[in-house]
Structure formats: C-alpha cells, structure tokens
Amino acid sequence: MRSTPDVTAPDLSAGLTLLHSPGPRSGAFYRLVGDALADARGRVEWVDARNAASTYALRAVAPSRALDGVRVARAFTAYQHHELVRRVVRRVSPRTDLVVAPNVASLYTDDDVPGHEADRLLSSTLATLAELAAARSLPVLVTAGASGDDATATVAAHADAEIECAGTPLGVAFEADGYRPRGYWREGYWQTTLPYWVDLLGVAPGSVGRPRPEPDLEPRPERDPGSRAATEG
C-alpha cells in the first residue's frame, strides 16, 4: 500500500487547459504545475507574466530534477508576451512535454496597450497556443490572470478544457470534467477525500457513480479486494 497520495491534481491532457486560479500566483497553480513538472520527462517551455516563475515557488513544489528541463522567459509587456509565444512555437520539439503560460491575458489589460490592439494581440496569442497544442498533441497550461471577466472569457473561448479550483477549508480543491479530486493540498500535508481511498483500496458496491463527494475528515474506506484489483488494473 502506498504511504502517501502522489496524485491530487488532475492530469493534463493534450490541448489548451485553462486553470481558473484565484490569484496571479496562487497555490493551486503551483500545485498543478508541480505535479505536471514532476511527470514531465522532456522539455518544458514557460512563458512568464507577472513573475509567476518565481524560482522560490517552483523549487518549493517540484524536485530539482523536474526543473532541469524547464526554460523560462519573462514578458513585461503585451508585445513581449506575444513575441515570446511566437518564439515558443519555433522552440517546441518532439522532446517538449509541456508549455506553461501563467497569467496569459494579464499584460494585455495594461494601460500601455491601446484596447483595440490588445484585443487583437491577445486573440492571436491564444489562437497560437491552441493551435500549437493541437498540432503537437501537447498539453498547454494557462491561467488567465486578468482582473476583467472579458479577458478571462476570451481565454476560455480558446481553451479545450477548464479546471476550476477553489480554496476550501480543507485546502485547494480542483474540479474538471472527468476528474474527481482525491486529495486537497494544504500547507505541508494532504487532506484525503473518499475518491482517493476508493482509488487506492477499491469501491464499495453500489457507491460508483455518485455525485462529487464531500471531503471526509476521517476516511473510513471500504475494503473490498475484488474491486481494488479492478481499479488498479
């Protein structure tokens, strides 16, 4: 039996995934990214905005081996951001496992870009990322990072998948289609949920397909060797 849960955030599949994170440098984002980096075997291209690529935060969530393949470039204006995204297209190779672009819409809402130009640049940036993800079958993870709903909606319109996350009293909870949280990440420890124990130990007969479970402070997992074998298979 595994002693600690090793998966709590949803796996990223190919395509443009928008994580609705509560802030520009939220714990949920780093949690998700940390897991994705740990899984990545090849290169990770990171187009940064608003200083999300803080080396301090990254080292806290990912082992240093997982950071070896990460390459970061930071944009400080929308124009630079757009230019970096175009460069990423040229940098991506078969060895690339993941592209990360936190706060992808954020710089486009700054005062120094005229609104009309900002809208066109942002749409072009997002279309480029979505096409890159599709053409290379590559996961591309973004957060919107914009204060306005309009910019977030523009990002969502280009996204293939969305992950909601919310701070709960038990930690950060992720929600996505086809994903049920198995744990809540908290400062320094794991708060498990029923699906985690179900995954680990099996499902009680009759419990499959019930709605999204509430987190359980004191899990009392059912032990059913038969379905355990089935879920691990």
Partner 1 sequence: MGFKIEFEGGTARVWRATDDGATAETRDYDPSLYVGGHVAALRDLRTALRDDPKVAGTGFERWHHRLRSRDPVETLRIDLERVGEVRTLAREILGLHGDSHPPGTFRLFNVDFSPGFRYCVETRTDPTPARPLSTLRIDLGLADRSDGDVSALALDGDPAAPGTDAERAALRALAERLHADDPDVLVLSSGRLVPLLFERADTLGLDGFRLGRRPGWTKLAGANTVESYGRIGHSPARYDVPGRVIVDRSNSFLWDVAGLPGLVDLVERSRKPLQEAGWASIGNVLTAVQIREALARDVLVPREKRHPEGFKDIDTLQAADRGGFTFDPDVGLHEDVVEVDFASLYPSIMCEYNVSPDTVCCDCHADRADVPGLGYSVCDRRGFLADVLEPIVADRAAFKRRRLKWILVSCFGYQGYRNSKFGRIECHEAINAFAREILLDARDTLEAGGWRVLHGIVDSLWVTPRESDPTPIPDLTDRVTADAGIRLEHEADFEWICFVPTGDGRDGALTEYFGKVDGRDAFKLRGIEARQRSTPAFVADVQRDLLRALDRHRAPEPVCDRLQRAIGRLERGNVDPADLVIRKRVSKPPAAYTCRTRTVAALERLAARGIDRYPGQDVRYVVADDECDSADRVRLPVESIDRYDAGFYADLLTRACESVVAPLGWDRDRVRRYLRDTDDVGLSAFE
Which residues are near partner 1 by CB under 8 A? Answer: 45, 53, 55, 58-59, 67-68, 70-77, 79-84, 87, 91, 112-114, 116-117, 120-121, 123-124
Q: How far apart are CA 48 and CA 103, in angstroms?
A: 8
CB of 211 to partner 1, least distance (A): 41
Of 68 and 164, the one with the shorter C-beta distance to partner 1 is 68
- The whole-angstrom distance between residue 160's C-alpha and the CA centroid of its chain comes to 13
Tell which residue, 70, 74, 96, 97, has the closest CA to residue 85.
74
Q: At 206, phi and psi to the nearest 5?
A: 90, -10
CB of 110 or CB of 164, closer to partner 1: 110
Strands (E), the chain: 15-20, 43-49, 70-75, 96-101, 139-143, 161-168, 171-176, 183-186, 189-192
Question: 205-212 long-range CB contacts below 8 Å, 24 or more apart?
Answer: 212/175, 212/180
Which one, 78 or 146, has the nearer CB to partner 1? 78
Pull the structure tokens for residue 111: 């005062």
Q: Look up tokens 């198995």; give the residue.
A: 182
Specify the residue, 98 or 165, whose C-beta has the smaller distance to partner 1. 98
Largest CA-CA distance found in the chain, in angstroms, rounded:
63
In the complex, least distance from residue 69 CB atom to partner 1, rounded to whole angstroms:
9
We find the least distance from the C-beta atom of residue 144 to partner 1, in angstroms, to be 19
Phi, psi of 164 (to 5 degrees): -90, 150
Nearer to partner 1, 14 or 72 (CB): 72
* Residue 67 or 176 with smaller CB distance to partner 1: 67
- Three-state DSSP class for 147? coil
